[in-house]
Amino acid sequence: MKKEDLYHAMAYIDDKYLDKAEKYRNRSVFGFLHSQSRKIAAVLAVVLILAMGTGAYASGIFSPLNGDDFSLRSEYLGEGIVAVTIENRSEKDLHLQPKTKLMLFYANLEIPARGSVSFSETKIPAHEIRVIRIDLSEAYDIAMLEAPIEKDHYYLILTNNSFFFGHDWHCSVKFAPTDPK
Amino acid sequence: MFLSDQEIISLFCERSENAITELNTSYGAYLKNIAFHILGKYSDIDEVLNDTYFAVWNRIPPEEPKVLRHYLSRITRNLAFKRLEYASAAKRSSEGIDSLDELADCVPDTRENVEGILEAREIGAAVNRWLGTLSEEKQAVFVLRYYYSFSLREIANRMGCSERRVKYLLSTMRGSLKEQLEREGFGE
C-alpha cells in the first residue's frame, strides 16, 4: 500500500462523518467563541469588575479608533515587500501589531502564512501620514502571489488588537511582478 | 436565490444549460475553498472547478447523488489531488502535500500490492469502521486534515484548542489507524 492509496481512500469517507466535520469546518471565530464559552464568560466577568472599578477611565480605555479616520493605500515594491501608506486623521495614535492576514476578496480565503511577517514600523501618530514597509517574503510564496489571478484580488488586514472586529483595517494590494532590470 | 439540490440535479437530468450556472452559484465558493486547501495555489483553481463541472455534467444522469455537496466535494478533491502531482513535481508546498506526507505514517506496508493497486473503496470502508470508534471531535479533526487538507492552525481555530493538541491528536490517530489497517490485513 502507498500513501497515495490511502489518500484516494479518503474519498470514500462516509457522508455522516463529512456532515459531522462540516459543523466545525464552517466555524470561524464565532465557533471558537462558542467552544470557549465558559472561559470567555469568566474573562468577561473579570473585565466587567475591572471596568466598574475604573469607571472614570473606562471610556478612555475601551473607546475604539474610528475606521473612517484612517485611509490606507498600498504599493508593491517587489520581492514580497508592500509599502502601505496610512493616513491617521484621528485624535489618537494608532499602534499596529506587527502581524497581518493576507486574504482573497471574492473567494473569502485567508492565504496560510508559512513564516513571519516583518513591519518597518508600527506607530502612526495622530494627524500624521506614515509609509510602512511590510515584508511578506518569509511568510508567503511570492511567485504564487505575483502570478496573475482572474476575477479576484488580494487584500491585507492590519490590526491593533488581534484582528477583533473594529480593530482591523483592510487594504487592497496588487502583486505585480517586478522588472528584473 | 439559490436552487435546492434536487432542483439543480433536475436541471442536469434535463440537460439544461443553466445547470452549471446554478451549480456554480450554490457551490462555487465551497469547491474553490476545497481546491485551494489542497493545491495551496490560486491559479489552478478555476481549471479544477471547470473540470469538476464537466465531470458532473457527464455523470448526472445516470448518477443521482444523495448529498450533492459531498458528491461535489469528492470530485473536486480528486481532481485537485491529480493536479497536486504536478505541483509536487515542482516542489511546491501546500497543505495537500503536507497532509499526504503525514498519511505515510498510517501505511502498514509500503511494498506494492501483489495484485496491483489496492481497491480504494476497501481501504475507505476500513477507515470508516475505524472512524466509527472515535469521538466526534477526533472524527472532525481527522476529516478536516485528511479530507479537506486544512492546516493545523485552521483546525485549532475551529476546534477551539491549540495547534499542539491538534498535532498530538493527529499523531495518535495515525498510529491507531495503522494498527487498524494491519488488523484488517492491509499490511500483509
Q: Tell me whether residues A11 and B77 touch, CB distance under 8 A.
A: yes
Give the model's confidence band at A64: pLDDT under 50 very low, under 70 low, under 90 confident, else very high: low
Secondary structure (DSSP) of B89-100: HTT---HHHHHH
Q: What is the pLDDT of residue B143?
A: 93
Three-class DSSP category at A43: helix
CB distance from A8 to chain B under 8 Å? Answer: yes
Closest to A158 measured CA to CA, from A111, A114, A109, A95: A95
Query: In this structure, are residues B100 and A4 in contact, taking their beta carbons and an 8 Å threshold?
Result: yes
**DSSP class of B75:** H
CB-nearest to B140 from A20, A114, A147 is A20
Residue B62 C-alpha, separation from nearest chain A C-alpha, in angstroms: 20
**DSSP class of A83:** E
Which chain B residues contact residue A2 at CB under 8 A? Answer: 107, 110, 112
Q: Tell me whether residues A1 and B100 touch, CB distance under 8 A.
A: no
Q: Tell me whether residues A1 and B109 touch, CB distance under 8 A.
A: yes
Q: Per mean pLDDT, which range of A32-46, A139-153, B132-146, B171-185 is the poorest?
A: A32-46
Q: What is the mean pLDDT of residues A31-43?
A: 64
pLDDT in tens, B23-76: 988 898 889 888 888 887 777 888 889 999 999 999 888 888 889 999 999 999
- Nine cell digits for residue B24: 456554480
CB-nearest to A24 from B77, B126, B159 is B159
Angle between helices B5-13 and B18-39 (to 10 degrees): 110
CB distance from A24 to chain B under 8 Å? Answer: yes
Q: Tell me whether residues A3 and B109 touch, CB distance under 8 A.
A: no
Q: What is the pLDDT of residue A53?
A: 62
pLDDT in tens, B92-143: 566 777 777 777 666 665 555 545 455 778 888 899 999 999 888 899 999 9
- Integer Cα distance of B89 and A125 in angstroms: 49
**Nearest chain A alpha carbon to B30:** A107
Secondary structure (DSSP) of B92-155: ---HHHHHHHHHGGG-S--SPPTTSS--HHHHHHHHHHHHTTS-HHHHHHHHHHHTS---HHHH
Residue A112 C-alpha, separation from nearest chain B C-alpha, in angstroms: 8
- Integer Cα distance of B107 and A1 in angstroms: 6
**Nearest chain B alpha carbon to A151:** B46
Q: How many CB pairs under 8 A join A and B?
A: 148
Does residue A19 carry a pLDDT above 60?
Answer: yes
Does residue B17 carry a pLDDT above 60?
Answer: yes
Does residue A61 carry a pLDDT above 50?
Answer: no
Q: Tell me whether residues B43 and A32 touch, CB distance under 8 A.
A: no
Q: What is the pLDDT of residue A47?
A: 79
Q: Tell me whether residues A2 and B140 touch, CB distance under 8 A.
A: no
Q: What is the pLDDT of residue B72?
A: 93
Chain A contacts in chain B segment 51-90 (CB below 8 A): 66-67, 70, 73-74, 77-78, 81
Global ipTM: 0.81
Query: In this structure, are residues A18 and B70 in contact, taking their beta carbons and an 8 Å threshold?
Result: yes
Q: What is the pLDDT of residue A180?
A: 54
Does residue B181 carry a pLDDT above 90?
Answer: no
Does residue A98 carry a pLDDT above 50?
Answer: yes
Q: Tell me whether residues B148 and A25 touch, CB distance under 8 A.
A: yes
Q: What is the pLDDT of residue A63?
A: 46
Residue A115 C-alpha, separation from nearest chain B C-alpha, in angstroms: 13
CB distance from B121 to chain A under 8 Å? Answer: yes
Angle between helices B45-59 and B18-39 (to 10 degrees): 130
Q: What is the mean pLDDT of residues A66-90?
A: 85
More confident residue, A23 or A85: A85
CB-nearest to A27 from B33, B123, B158 is B158
Q: Tell me whether residues B153 and A25 touch, CB distance under 8 A.
A: no
Chain B contacts in chain A segment 73-112 (CB below 8 A): 104, 107-109, 112
Does residue A172 carry a pLDDT above 60?
Answer: yes
CA B161 to chain CA mean position, Å: 23
pLDDT in tens, A107-153: 778 888 888 899 999 998 888 888 899 999 989 888 888 888 877 78
Beta strands, E only, chain A: 70-78, 81-88, 94-95, 100-104, 109-110, 118-119, 123-124, 128-135, 154-159, 168-173
